[in-house]
Amino acid sequence: MTAVSRHYVLAAGGTGGHLIPAFALAVELERRGHHVALITDERGAAIPGKPDTLPAHILPPGRIAGKNPVGWVKGGKGVLEGRRMALRLFESFNPAAVVGFGGYPALPTMLAARAAKIPTVIHEQNAVLGRVNRMFASRVDAIATAFANVDRLSPKQQGKVSLVGNPVRAEVLALREAPFPPFTEDSLLRILVTGGSQGARILSEVVPDGLAMLPTALRSRLQVIQQCRAEDIEAVRQRYASHGIPAELATYFENMAERLAGAHLFIGRAGASTIAELTAVGRPAILIPLPIATDDHQAANAREMASAGGARSIRQNKFTAGELAKQIRAMAQRPETLANAAHAAWNCGYPNAAADLADLVESFGGAPLMDVIRVGAKPAAVKKKEALARESVE
Ligand SMILES: CC(=O)N[C@H]1[C@@H](OP(=O)(O)OP(=O)(O)OC[C@H]2O[C@@H](n3ccc(=O)[nH]c3=O)[C@H](O)[C@@H]2O)O[C@H](CO)[C@@H](O)[C@@H]1O
Does 15 carry a binding-site annotation? yes
Q: Which domains does the chain have, with CATH numbers?
A: 7-163+364-388 (3.40.50.2000), 172-347 (3.40.50.2000)
Confidence (pLDDT) at 323: 98
Quick one: angle between helices 297-308 and 272-281, nearest 10? 20
Confidence (pLDDT) at 197: 82
Confidence (pLDDT) at 338: 98
196 lines ligand 1 (CB under 6 A): yes
Confidence (pLDDT) at 356: 98
Quickly count: other Cβ atoms within 10 Å of residue 193's Cβ. Answer: 26
Confidence (pLDDT) at 381: 43
Residue 94's nearest CA partner among 369, 348, 290 is 369
Confidence (pLDDT) at 52: 93
Question: How far, in Å, CA of 253 to CA of 256, rounded?
Answer: 6
What is the distance in A from the centroid of ligand 1 to the CA of 18?
9
Please state the ipTM of this predicted complex. 0.99
What is the distance in A from the centroid of ligand 1 to the CA of 94?
33
Q: From 273, 275, 288, 290, give the residue whose CB has the most ligand 1 atoms within 8 Å, as the site to mutate.
A: 273
16 lines ligand 1 (CB under 6 A): yes
258 lines ligand 1 (CB under 6 A): no
Confidence (pLDDT) at 14: 79
- Greatest Cα-to-Cα distance within the chain, rounded to the nearest angstrom: 94
Please, are residues 60 and 126 in contact by the beta-carbon 8 Å criterion?
no
Question: How far, in Å, CA of 306 to CA of 62, rounded?
Answer: 37
* Per-residue pLDDT reduced to its tens digit, 169-200: 889 999 999 999 999 999 999 999 999 888 99
Residue 123's nearest CA partner among 2, 273, 256 is 273
Regions in the chain scoring below 50 on pLDDT: 1-2, 68-75, 367-386, 390, 392-394
What is the distance in A from the centroid of ligand 1 to the CA of 284?
17
